[in-house]
Structure 1
Amino acid sequence: MGGSSGGGAVGRRTFLAGAVGLVTAATLSACTFEAGPTPTTKTPTATPTPTGTPTPVPSPRSMMRSRWSHDPFARGAASFTAVGATDQNRIDLAAPVGDRLFFAGEACSVEQPGTVDGAIASGADAARALRDVAVGGERIAVIGAGASGLTAARALIEAGFTVRVIEARDRAGGRIASRSSDSWPVPVELGPWTIAEGDDAFRQQLDQAGVGYTTFDRIDDVRTSTGSTVTASPVGADAVTSAVEWSSGGPHDVTVDRALAASGAGALSTEKDADGVSPADWLAYDLNARVAPRTGASSDRLSAWNGGAAESGDGIGDFIPTDGFSEMVEKLADGIDVLTKSAVTQVSYTDTRVGIRLATGESLTVDRAIVTVPLGVLKGDALSFIPELPLTKARAISILGMGTVDRIWLRYDEPFWSSTATVFSTVGTDAAVARWVNLQPVTGDAVLVGTIAAGHASAIAELGDDAALAAVLPSLEPFLATPAEGTGPGSPTPTPPSST
């Protein structure tokens, strides 16, 4: 991943100069950065499993999970439009500061926020904006080696600039996080893991890297807590749409929850039908299994005006990869000088240059810089700017939301579930997992991928592996095969999973 950038390789000590340029000794001594967990926890923790009635759902042979809200280099999965926020805030976030400091990332995208496509497009936009004001041969720093940062870096190198990408992690890719192991028949994707039909830029990059993917044949199985299969009702989605339409006539933005309450659209009957499901249950199902997984936000934070609550989709795409997304990252990073394990703690800028301070104690001075760190990092105090960012940008960082969506992958030796559908969900329960994707019909292996969103994701991220597993397995109880069905055990004895 290292290599030449622009007119030739630039050594670390050549590019990095200790305590020079804009960073003073006093400000350097005040900079600290605490290391934190990686997106996946691969070893069991000491967190005890909650006591109570044990679930009949068997423990998996292997498990992998993300905890994006605990990742110090992400602080969440993707941005969302919180109440009071507008597209203008994303425009303000992307706006350059003078002609020295530029910003990019999915949170800067108006058209496709929260997506890999949005990150790629934003990186390309920032590179064009910088190129328009810079002189060929200038030294450029790109902070962050995710899809946005690598896209920007490649465009600038091709334009003749000397580029160094600075990445806090020990790898490139950012929130694109692939894990491969002999314990898994397919690469485990802990960040984005499916591809939507409209992800043109993402698919183009995958195709160029030779990353294979296949059509996902979606078949939904929605069940009650008792295991009865029911036909999904549109009443919940219709209520959300009605509330959003009502809010558009108001004098100011409100949350989706407030719009549902004030419009009356959320006042649905709690009377159960023959299947044991009420209209109110279908509303809760829509918010928890569609809106939250797609936005990463709970309905008490999401903007009714601009949060996209009425848009279709639940975050499950039209294609699934057969190769790891990391292969695309490797292709995109090929020939780019990427400095890993180097968290940036301070960015100082003037009308003539940009100074960058690293957690390692080193610093560098460049002509211009593109900042592509996630919105969650900008919201925290691990990275500071001198002088402080303009008020419009600071407001954008404050008002835009950072959502939480995590994945949990479970591998079994054989399926315990009775359904041949590819997407499992439950209605009338407060299931921790919004939806499970059954990869067995696609790969032939007994693998389930769960999506945990919003409040559930934040709560489960606080747990160790054993406790997290205990929290999510009950959501699979409605799909247990009975002994009479002959396709799996009825009440198998749980066994400790491997976290590899």
Structure 2
Amino acid sequence: MRAHLAESVGGRVHFAGEATSAQAPATTTGALLSGRRAAREILETAREGQSVTVVGAGFAGLACARKLVKAGLRVTVLEARERVGGRAWTTWVDGMPAELGASWIHGHKGNKMTKVLRRSGGRALPFDYDNAAGRDRAALRELGRLTKDMDDRPDADTAPISSVLPPAPSPALRSAANMVYAQEYGAEPHQLSITADEEGVGGRGGDLLLPDGYDRLVEQVRDGLPVRTGAVVTGVGYDAAGTAVRLRDGEEVHGDHCVVTLPLGVLKSGSVTFTPELPEEKRAAVDTLGAGLLDKLWLWFPEVFWAAGADVIEWSDPEDPGLWSYWVNGYKAFGRPVLLGFNGGDQAHRVAGLTDEQTVDSAMSALRRMHA
């Protein structure tokens, strides 16, 4: 499905973005590599001076555009937001990078994003997932026993992970499954095929936090590239002569090629139409691949009241397993009395429907019970 999503159409419209990456989906590395791959596709046939319209200024769009510009092509980058970076989105608070989007470089050894980090001059902070306070190791061992041989099933590509779990799991097992799957993929075990757990992250070894912010890496890849922000794309037309990208204000941007780096969720929404309609295999890939939800909440406190030396704080709510179950210790990472809470999958969808005040109240209720 990812290969179908990545295929170009008519030799004119090309697709990039983390969802097109079979090597590292759902990561900034996958986005970066997909953008470079789309640029190579164009450069196989393009002539110097030809024009390319790139839709989206995340890592995929910026990496693609930068490679094409260096090769002598004329590139226009369109971004619907008023900022660049896509789902890498850094907000600075009290001298600390509060990442609203991507937080980690996953698998830093042999990872192209690690090279970008080094070129940017940013620092790398190794993150130890095993240095966890409150972890229910017995429940995780039970989950490990249940899922041990599931990769050997002949239907592993289509069978959900939930098929190897009991129909009525205990609260402890539900919490462990939330930790391993919902917190990792933003989706529940019944939404994930067994082989979904085998997709890569772009490198080997441990993960890194970026104490100098992901925005430093965005600017490193951008390298001064001009971007038209606030340019909302509503349609992409293509034929043998070239492409025409339609904007919400009625303007059309013409080019010899177009690179679409829209997130999978935007493609699913149908808010951008393609003329002519995309091929059936492409539409099937858009329909079949899923997009999970992982929500983050940053909380600042007057002082540290939790395990100051832990990288991770875990908790299982006995009444609602999986809710506010995973916290990153900002004091260990950034030297600030900050906690970063995560919700994934069904719990994330629930919390997303709350107001800001209700969200904070819910999180504080969990923290009080965790540290009572």
TM-score after normalising by structure 1: 0.69
Equivalent residues of 1:91, 1:108 under 8 A apart: yes
Deviations 1:304-360 (A, max 9, x none): 2x2117999xxx963211111112212222331210000100000001110010112
Which of 344, 361, 364 is 2:233 aligned to? 344
Q: Equivalences for 1:263-274 in 2 at 5 Å?
A: 265-266=165-166
Letter in 2 for 1:245: D
Which of 132, 139, 142 is 2:54 aligned to? 142
The corresponding residue for 1:373 is 262
The corresponding residue for 2:342 is 451
Q: Distance in 2 between matches of 1:456 and 1:167?
A: 30
Which of 323, 328, 344 is 2:217 aligned to? 328
The corresponding residue for 2:357 is 466
- CA shift, 1:428, in A, is 5.8
The corresponding residue for 2:79 is 167
Letter in 1 for 2:44: D
Equivalent residues of 1:222, 1:232 under 8 A apart: no
Q: Distance in 2 between matches of 1:251 and 1:415?
A: 44
- CA shift, 1:197, in A, is 3.1
What is the CA RMSD across the aligned residues, in angstroms?
2.4
Q: Distance in 2 between matches of 1:245 and 1:116?
A: 27
The corresponding residue for 1:42 is none
Deviations 1:437-468 (A, max 9, x none): 11213333211011111111112112221011
Letter in 1 for 2:264: L
- CA shift, 1:382, in A, is 1.1
Larger CA deviation: 92-101 vs 282-291: 282-291
* Residues 322/332 of structure 1: CA separation in 2 closer, same or farther (3 Å cut): same
Q: Distance in 2 between matches of 1:251 and 1:447?
A: 40
- CA shift, 1:164, in A, is 0.7
- CA shift, 1:254, in A, is 2.3
Q: Equivalences for 1:79-478 in 2 at 5 Å?
A: 89-181=1-93, 184-198=94-108, 200-218=111-129, 219-222=131-134, 233-242=140-149, 244-245=150-151, 248-250=153-155, 253-257=158-162, 259-260=163-164, 265-266=165-166, 280-304=170-194, 306-308=195-197, 318-417=207-306, 420-427=309-316, 429=318, 430-478=321-369
* Residues 267/371 of structure 1: CA separation in 2 closer, same or farther (3 Å cut): closer
Q: Equivalences for 1:8-23 in 2 at 5 Å?
A: none
Q: Distance in 2 between matches of 1:202 and 1:252?
A: 29
SS of the residue 2:253 aligns to: strand
Letter in 1 for 2:141: P
Equivalent residues of 2:15, 2:261 under 8 A apart: yes
- CA shift, 1:95, in A, is 0.4
Higher relative contact order (Cα pairs below 8 Å, separated by 6+ residues): 1
- CA shift, 1:223, in A, is 5.6
Equivalent residues of 2:296, 2:343 under 8 A apart: yes
SS of the residue 1:451 aligns to: strand
- CA shift, 1:431, in A, is 3.6
Deviations 1:227-280 (A, max 9, x none): xxx7664111321334x336x2249722222x22xxxx5368x7xxxxxxxxx3
Letter in 1 for 2:251: E
Q: Distance in 2 between matches of 1:302 and 1:110?
A: 16
Equivalent residues of 2:82, 2:229 under 8 A apart: yes
Equivalent residues of 1:237, 1:286 under 8 A apart: no
Q: Distance in 2 between matches of 1:367 and 1:105?
A: 20
Name the structure with the higher helix share: 2
Deviations 1:102-145 (A, max 9, x none): 00010011111111111111111110001101111101000000
Number of equivalent positions? 365
5+ unaligned residues in a row in structure 1: which ranges?
A: 1-88, 225-229, 271-279, 483-500
Q: Distance in 2 between matches of 1:479 and 1:288?
A: 17
Q: Distance in 2 between matches of 1:144 and 1:476?
A: 38
SS of the residue 1:402 aligns to: coil
Q: Distance in 2 between matches of 1:308 and 1:233?
A: 16
Q: Distance in 1 between matches of 2:60 and 2:70?
A: 16
Name the structure with the higher strand share: 2
* Residues 384/267 of structure 1: CA separation in 2 closer, same or farther (3 Å cut): closer
